[in-house]
Chain A
Amino acid sequence: MSAPPPRSTAEDPNATSSSSSFTFPPEYSFPPFFTRQTNLTTHHAQLTKWASLVLAYCRHHRIFKLSLSGDPTTTTTTSSSSSETTGGDGGEAAGPDTTELFYNRRINRRLSLADIREVIDFLRRDGRAEYVTTAKGGSAEGGGSGGGGDVAWIYWRTPEEWASLVEGWVDATGQRGSVLTVYELVEGEGTRGSEFHGLDQELLLKALNVLVKRGKAQIFGHEDSLGVKFF
């Protein structure tokens, strides 16, 4: 977790923080926070603080997939205008440049990729993160579920918690026995105002599968047109 060579903010187009509304904790401005602590107790405290910072940051920006390298194109968020302006099919859009999460320009300190992975692994053990896996079963950038890829799910709400929210909405709106499309749940007018409106479709499917296991829902249809019936 050593400091990188000094980099001028003038050559950086994103020098001004995109998250002016997000308040970083005081330790974020403390250089040793970006350096791996050798003392076990201190290291555990450091990991705990980093984990809570990652969760808070992702919750604030509604980031569901986090690129460990900080590439904004692989980070999925839901901003109110993103899907409208891009004309995209899903709720996925280029999110904020997450390099600012692991790189503090003001004190010129960066968390190394190995240490970022350690934070993600720490979150994984707590059930708050998971490496994004490809259809073949490996992780997005190789290395399996343990080794970790380059993109990770950040569960500031676990699929079980999202499932409970969806179930609550189904009960409140009298949708039991109804057939709804996954797109409708994420982008529909009916869910506007609910917390899962604009949720990443893959994450919604994870949540719906929790309800399927509980016998509260059934997913059917084809890959491009999935529907769900609630019981």
Chain B
Amino acid sequence: MGNSSSRITAQDQAILDLKTQRDKLHQYQRRITHLTDRETQAARQLLARGDKPRALLALRRKKYQESLLAKTDAQLEQLEKLTASVEFALIQKDVLFGLQQGTNVLKEIQAEMGGIENVEKLMGETAEAIAYQQEVSEIIGGRISVQEEEEVEDELAALEAEVAKKEAAVQRLPSVPDTQLPVQKVAEEERHPRPAAKKAQAERQAMLA
């Protein structure tokens, strides 16, 4: 049953066999439980009829069935432990396989890097190259030619001239008047409006009406 390209291993078959055995024990337990219930019922009926010896026999049978039940419980426990151990062992195997694969990949990468000596040599060369570059930068940055010096001075003079121009423009602005505004007059006019203003207001109101 199943696919032709089987993905079922020998371990899977072994687990199935263990689990099948467990299932059979479960079914057996169910059957025994049913029998013990029947024996109890029979004992009750026999006692009701006054048949004590047969009731006792039924209870003895029940006791025997219960002892079988206890045995199957122990066997079931063993089976379940074994099944769990096998399943966990398979998981451990997979974990170990994964670790092995990871280790192999790491080794391959390290081999591509050429070993520790190669890395140390490369790091040394890198440090030397950096030191050389810094030296070159210092040499270039430390010396300025006469021509460059003159250009810098010319630029400074141009900036100074620009600043002076701005200051001259600020000085040419008109001065702020220092005379006071006639504040009181305006206030009085607001309090006592002139007749002309009153007339204009009356006309405006008439138009609105």
Contacts and interface: CB of A to CB of B under 8 A. Distances in A.
A225 B35 CA distance: 24
Interface residues of B, number: 22
A218 B6 contact: yes
A181 B20 contact: yes
A179 B34 CA distance: 29
A179 B1 contact: no
Interface stretch (A11-19, A52-60, A82-90): A82-90
Contacts of B16: 179, 181, 220-221, 225, 227
B26 A187 contact: yes
Given A87-B34, A212-B3, A220 B19 contact: no
Interface string B153-195: 0000000000000000000000000000000000000000000
B15 interface: yes
Contacts of A181: 16, 19-20, 23
A220 B8 contact: yes
B20 A220 contact: no
B12 A84 contact: no
A124 interface: no
Interface string B1-20: 11100111000110111011
A180 B27 contact: no
A220 B30 contact: no
Interface string A26-56: 0000000000000000000000000000000
A229 B34 contact: no
B88 to A, nearest CB: 12
20 contacts: A84-B33, A86-B34, A89-B27, A179-B12, A181-B16, A183-B26, A218-B6, A218-B7, A219-B2, A220-B6, A220-B8, A220-B16, A221-B13, A221-B20, A225-B16, A225-B17, A225-B23, A226-B1, A227-B20, A229-B8
